[in-house]
Every structure is written in structure tokens, then in C-alpha cells.
Amino acid sequence: MAEKVLVTGGAGYIGSHCVVELLEAGYHPVVIDNFHNAIRGTHGLPESLQRVQKILGKEIEFEEVDLLNKDALSSLFDKHKFSAVLHFAGLKAVGESVEKPLLYYKVNLTGTIHLLEVMSSHGVKKLVFSSSATVYGDPKYLPIDESHPVGGCTNPYGKTKYFIEEMIKDQCKAEGDWCAILLRYFNPIGAHVSGRIGEDPQGIPNNLMPYVSQVAVGRREYLNVFGNDYNTPDGTGVRDYIHIVDLAKGHIAALKRLETSSGCKAYNLGTGVGYSVLQMVKAMEKASGKEVPYKIVARREGDIATCYADPALAAAELGWKAEYDLDRMCEDLWRWQSHNPTGFSTEH
């Protein structure tokens, strides 16, 4: 019998790619989502998961559940015997979190508290949490390793990730047989090689590469580059970008690690290489064969100059490292964007 793994927020960009890798690795994912960030498909399944079924030719078990509804969550755990949980569900727009902090604290923190309580009452004690490099705040040194101080977050979204990490650490201390892994993502980009699933931000993209690819496909006129006066090689912000499939494989490595470890541990998922905004624009132009016009505008509040990972701990302890280079990230992103110019609402 394949191990049943609960995937919260599994219809989203990262969650859906992880569902592919879970199925490929022989797990039985049970996916829940509340459609906040997902497109509603037919037959009760989100469009992203319908496409995962087409890619792999396998059925996916899905239920529409909101983590704020603790009774519904408890009923789900009554019905299934889960060996572990992958927790992706939550609100994730940095700008919106600044405008609506209480909404972010309510959804992300309360939802996670409900999840931890229901896991505890049902004896499910293995958890992989979708965290973020935002927990590090403005880097004190580079590259950032897992010993870097955390908690100096520059926005409420980042603070929710930090607070959730702290809750999980405390729960693991309180109940010694819990085992959790906190995966701190750098900047996931790209798409599945099939071009059938990818990142489909609703409204104006908050992240650089979906915006760049939408300019390349003609959906947006030009890119705003926020600041070209940073202390970086070309003056634009430098970040560590990681292929979404590499990131998803990191979750499989974490699940395997949970089988033999205890306590709570954090790992960076990144490549260890930083690229500037203008380097990313050039890489997308190369992959797409299209010009990406841009305008230099004022810096954004809360943005930092440079941020990239030291991913050595994940290599040493999880046996994981990123394999795809920048060209491959952009090729796969362009395949997704060019086949789906308006996201999941079209398919050619």
C-alpha cells in the first residue's frame, strides 16, 4: 500500500508540482485546497490537478477543504490514515500582506494551528512545511546558511512563515515523537517540462519571472525594474532562482528524511547562485526569442539588494541538490507561458 500523504494547498503552483513528484515516487497524495489561489476546473477538481492527471495518467484524490474549518479538517483525518503532511496552504502575496496584515495572520497562523491540533489528535506526527527565505530578512552575510539569524522579516507574509516555523519547533519540543522539516525556498520559477502546469498568478504578478514571461508573450506591455542603484554588478536586485521541479524533488527528499530523523530541522532550497533582474530579462529573451521591454523605476520599500542560498546542508543531509540551470528554467517557463498565454483559462 502506498503511503498516504496529505498535501494542503496542493492545487497551487508549488503544491501541484509536488503532487507530480509524489505520484512519481510512489506516494498516494490526498490534496486539499480552498480555491483561494487556484482555478476551479470541472468535475470538482482544480484545473491544475486535472492537468496533473493528464500528465501522469493517474487519478488524484482531492477534497475542497479550508484549514480555517477545523471540523472539516478533522473529518478528513477521520477518513484517511496519513503517514505525513506537506503543508503549502496559505496566502502568499507580499504586497497584499502589508495592506491586510490581520487577514494574513488569521489565515496563515490560524490555519496552521488547526492543522497541528488535528494532526496531534489523530497521531500524525510527520510534517514538511513550505517556508521561505523571507524568514532571514535583510541578509547579515552571504551566502545565507541555516545558521543565519531568522525573524528580521520585512513584511507580514514573511512574519507568518517565521511564526509558523516557531510554532512547529515548539510542538516538536512539546511532543518528542514529532518530526518536522522546514524547507526555506529561495525563488521558484519555471514549469513542468510538459508545459501543462506552471505558475498562474491571478492579477498583476508579484514575482519577477511570471511578469517577465507575460511581457514576452504580449500580455503586458513592459516590465518595471524596481531600482538600478543597488550595490550589485548591474545595479539591479540579485536573487537565487530555483527550478520548480528541483524544488518539488526537495520535498520528496525531505519526506524520506522524516522516516529516519526526529525533532525539527530547517533546510535551504536554492541553487547557491544569484542572478540580477537584468540577467533574468536577458535569459528570458534568449529562451523566448522575444524582446522584453523594461523601465527603471524607484526602489520598492522592503526590497533588499542581494540574497542567495548556501544549499550545502540539504546536499549533505537530504541528499538533494538543484540540477536545472537558468537556461532550462527559462525554457520550461516559456513553454508553459507560450502554450497558456492567459494561464489555466486557456490551453492550445
The three three-digit cell numbers of residue 274, written as one number: 544569484
Are 180 and 168 in contact, with CB atoms under 8 Å apart? Answer: yes
Upstream peptide bond of 143 is cis (omega within 30 degrees of 0) = yes
pLDDT in tens, 80-98: 999 999 999 999 988 889 9
Grid cell, residue 60, equals 488524484
CA atoms within 13 A on the CB side of 249: 15
Please give the share of the chain, as a percent, with pLDDT higher than 70.
99
Q: Which of left, alpha, beta for 171 (phi over 0: left; psi -120 to 50: alpha)?
A: alpha
Cell of 165: 516555523
Percentage of the chain exceeding pLDDT 90: 90
In this model, does residue 42 exceed pLDDT 80? no
> What's the pLDDT score for residue 2?
86
The pLDDT score that the predictor gives to residue 343 is 94
Average pLDDT, the chain: 96
pLDDT of residue 95: 82
pLDDT at 288: 98
Catalytic residue among 13, 104, 157, 267: 157
Distance CA 43, CA 57 (A): 16
Residue type, 103: L
pLDDT of residue 93: 86
Query: What local confidence, expressed as pLDDT, does residue 348 receive?
Result: 41
Cell of 174: 512539546
What is the DSSP secondary structure assignment for residue 144, as one 8-state letter? B
State in Å, rounded, how far the first CA of the chain is from the last one: 37
User: Which DSSP state fits 106?
Assistant: I
Segment 292-346, tens digit of pLDDT = 999 999 998 778 899 999 999 999 999 999 999 999 999 999 999 999 999 998 5
Residue 103 pLDDT > 60: yes
Cell output for 133: 527565505
On the CB side of 65, how many CA atoms lie within 13 Å of its CA?
Answer: 25
**141 among known catalytic residues:** no
Gap between the Cα atoms of 16 and 39, Å rounded: 12
Any idea which residue has 504580449 for its cell? Answer: 218
Whether residue 202 has pLDDT greater than 90:
no
Retrieve residue 152's grid coordinates.
528580521
Residue with cell 492550445: 348
Average pLDDT estimate for 109-120: 98
Residue 54: the pLDDT is 96
CA–CA gap between residue 41 and residue 51 (Å, rounded): 10
- pLDDT over 70 at 141, yes or no: yes
Cell of 12: 497551487
Whole-number CA gyration radius for the chain = 19
Query: What one-character DSSP code corresponds to residue 309?
Result: B
Contacts of residue 26, defined as CB under 8 A and 6 or more positions apart, other chains included, come to 2
**C-beta atoms surrounding 96 within 10 Å:** 17
Phi, psi for residue 140 in degrees, rounded to 5:
-85, -25
